[in-house]
Amino acid sequence: MERWPWPSGGAWLLVAARALLQLLRSDLRLGRPLLAALALLAALDWLCQRLLPPPAALAVLAAAGWIALSRLARPQRLPVATRAVLITGCDSGFGKETAKKLDSMGFTVLATVLELNSPGAIELRTCCSPRLRLLQMDLTKPGDISRVLEFTKAHTTSTGLWGLVNNAGHNEVVADAELSPVATFRSCMEVNFFGALELTKGLLPLLRSSRGRIVTVGSPAGDMPYPCLGAYGTSKAAVALLMDTFSCELLPWGVKVSIIQPGCFKTESVRNVGQWEKRKQLLLANLPQELLQAYGKDYIEHLHGQFLHSLRLAMSDLTPVVDAITDALLAAQPRRRYYPGQGLGLMYFIHYYLPEGLRRRFLQAFFISHCLPRALQPGQPGTTPPQDAAQDPNLSPGPSPAVAR
């Protein structure tokens, strides 16, 4: 049987060049991801020529090319027009930068802040257009939420409300769950879960009417057990499940829901070392004597030092998160999840596919590596160290000398 002729190398280069030009005219960015995809397709072409009959090889190559290039394509964007968006937590960080970006794009931005005279609020008032409106709101106060809801309904009658960005977040303790006061769990839930829940429910009539968007800033700490972030991670896990529920229930209304799971970024709250020092001192001052004796002050100091050390790896450029929020608001088909930040792909791969012991060790190496509590250290009277703790290479007998103080 006569075999189909396979195009020569020169012919393939010509076809690839023409296809590349056509794709660049449409919706692909020329960069390392695109070049890598083309290199992989060329390697696949070489394998197909040698391992498969021409019809099967063409089918495989066509399918692989469509999948690879469609993943790299710019998503179709909706026009900004007169769309209005409410963003919470705009005093600093992701909220402030997103408010500035959306205002520059022509959105009508309703930006909530804890204090109208905070540095972030003053910056927004100075650098943004008159379209941006600053609203004072504390998500732990129902009266503040009700006032913002009424203002939003009154000031979006002509444009409608296109999007809600649940950005405001709260965390005040970095410590083991046993060392964290129950009040800390409640305060995290009040802001990160119940506040977002009440505001979202209050705005749903407007969002259903516009077939708009709900974008919520979550955290990988809500997907995996980060050491010493029990209160914060629990609240973020709760709000992520809530948003997944909204995503299913609001589908018939045309409302699309996205969750942003950013890596570690240097927002103002992360950079405020003095604030974390005060919180550590407050934790020590209010810790029950029994727990302080069992764990020891050195243990808490070690956790604090490890936490500050991990923050040195944080990214200072907040653009990936701002771009993810913008895409979730304007993409014709936004993703359910966005993962802006370095190393998150590897982190989630380890979390979902590797054994539990390796997952735990990776998080400890990446974030906080515990030392042995005082009561479990050799030579201490009372409790004998359990076999698991004695054999765990990630537990040191005391604070790590590698952590800068």
Distance CA 21, CA 17 (A): 6
Cβ 140 vs Cβ 119: under 8 Å? no
Q: Measured between alpha carbons, how far is residue 317 from residues 97, 247, 273 in Å?
A: 10, 29, 19
Q: What are phi and psi of 134, to 5 degrees?
A: -95, 130
- Tokens 């305060």 label which residue? 187
Query: With b meaning 16 or more CB within 10 Å and e meaning fewer, what string describes 119-130?
Result: ebbebbbeebee
User: What ranges make up the beta strands (E) of 34-171?
Assistant: 84-87, 108-113, 133-136, 163-166
Annotated catalytic sites, by residue? 232
Q: Exposed/middle/buried for 31, CB within 10 Å: 0-12, 13-18, 19+?
A: exposed
Amino acid symbol at 385: P
Distance CA 356, CA 11 (A): 51
Q: Measured between alpha carbons, how far is residue 138 from residues 33, 135, 191, 274 in Å?
A: 42, 10, 8, 23
- Closest to 262 (Cα-Cα) out of 123, 137, 97, 110: 97
Distance CA 48, CA 310 (A): 46
Distance CA 262, CA 221 (A): 10
The span from the first CA to the last CA of the chain, in angstroms, equals 76
